[in-house]
Amino acid sequence: MKNRIDSGDDSQNFLAGRDIHVGVTPTDAIAISKEVVEQALGVYSHEVREEVEARFRDFREEVVQRICQSSPASLVAFRDVDIQAAFFEASTAYVRTGRDDVKRSLVDLVAARCNAKSGGLQAVVLNEAISTVRKLTREGIAALTVAFVAQRVQFADVVDLADLNARCKRALFPLFDTDLPRWQPGAQAELNHLMAVGCATLLAEEQTLQCILVKSYPGLFQEGHFRRAISSDLLTVSDRMVRDYQSIPLFVPCAQDENKLRVNALNRANAETLIRTYARPDEERELVEEYLFLLENGVLNLDQVRDRLTELDHEWETLMFIWEDHPWLSRLEPTSVGLAIAHANWARLLGYETVPLDDWLPR
């Protein structure tokens, strides 16, 4: 919620909770942003001047409010030349289109840009995203967002399939209810446009949702191994971890077949960290290789993965049908610019409860 206090000079300060603004206040940021776009008003005719001024005003107030909510200290960025140029480009893009979806994306991109280090990769990409987003349709942004979340977002601390399903229902499922382009004549043109403006490329091969999930979370889709297929050295390390260090074991019984053991790690990174922590230096390399082999070669086939998911939640069937029925979604690969736009859209749709852009683009 927006709080206001009287500044005593016919102006108002925007406050986000109890944050204290040092260097540049919200009122200062409003004044700077107003000055930045003032000259642009002269290019419009008198017939549209009132609408143009309203859009400029609406945009700058939403930008400042968004920054106050997320990172009030970054208001000081309004003194930066590059930030002012980015704000000018963003505000004129919204004034030109008048589209609410473009405004929301631009507000979030400008807020992110204010928090990025000038000259860094993230700043460069965000500047380009600000220049590009007005050129995209709602359908194009929706497709980029679904592809980004499905392919690039991984939950680091998933406990089991039920936990993964709950997280996907929050972070992925709602995206399939948006403006995804379907099998209509314009679908190919949409793809061509995304590629032409530098937001996407095409992967060489299609990726099913099942394949993406298995690659991201092989530990959740384990078929398991008989005990005799695991070396005695690896089983000894697993027992030592529990006995001497009270750690979790390397293997646990497979839920589908108690005669088998499954690797007790979510993915490759987790598996490497776990075994390197407890294996002796002289046995580490060989055991790491075996443990990773067991992780990646003990997974269910893709039909079994599909069955497991749909048994857990019937909505997976709908999602997989949309993904596979779409002419190019399963091959869509967002570029860095497409990723920044998709991340901003995803954050807004989820109420800003997402991980920061830093996880994909360093500042």
Are residue 54 and residue 162 in the same domain, yes or no? Answer: no
Task: Please compute, for residue 199, the number of CA atoms within 13 A of its CA located in the half-sphere on the CB side.
Answer: 30
Last residue of one domain, picked from the residues 296, 321, 343: 296
Are residue 37 and residue 83 in the same domain, yes or no? Answer: yes
- The DSSP output letter for 299 is B
Are residue 104 and residue 29 in the same domain, yes or no? Answer: yes
**Residue 8's pLDDT is what?**
38
**Residue 120's pLDDT is what?**
93
Are residue 166 and residue 202 in the same domain, yes or no? Answer: yes
CA dihedral sign, ordered 166, 320, 141, 59: negative
SS3 201: strand
Are residue 123 and residue 31 in the same domain, yes or no? Answer: yes
Q: Which residues contact 207 (CB under 8 A, 6 or more apart)?
A: 151, 330, 331
How many domains are there within the chain? 3
Are residue 81 and residue 186 in the same domain, yes or no? Answer: no
Last residue of one domain, picked from the residues 82, 114, 135: 135
Are residue 205 and residue 331 in the same domain, yes or no? Answer: yes
Measure Cα distances from 112 to 218, 246, 291, 354 in Å: 33, 43, 40, 13
Q: Which residues contact 122 (CB under 8 A, 6 or more apart)?
A: 112, 116, 357, 358, 361, 362, 363
- Which DSSP helix (H) or strand (E) runs through 225? strand 225-226
The list of the chain residues with pLDDT below 50 reads: 1-22, 183
Q: Which domain holds residue 328?
A: 138-216+302-359
128: nearest Cα among 76, 93, 78: 93
Are residue 164 and residue 255 in the same domain, yes or no? Answer: no
Evaluate whether 337 touches 140 at the Cβ level (below 8 Å).
no
Last residue of one domain, picked from the residues 135, 170, 186: 135
Are residue 9 and residue 42 in the same domain, yes or no? Answer: yes
Q: Which residues contact 47 (CB under 8 A, 6 or more apart)?
A: none
Contacts 24+ apart (CB under 8 A), 81-86: 82/118, 82/123, 82/127, 83/113, 83/114, 83/118, 84/32, 84/36, 86/110, 86/113, 86/126, 86/127, 86/130
Are residue 124 and residue 99 in the same domain, yes or no? Answer: yes
239: nearest Cα among 268, 261, 272, 217: 261
Are residue 124 and residue 73 in the same domain, yes or no? Answer: yes
Burial of 287 (0-12, 13-18, 19+ CB in 10 A): buried
Are residue 167 and residue 206 in the same domain, yes or no? Answer: yes
**Residue 326's pLDDT is what?**
87
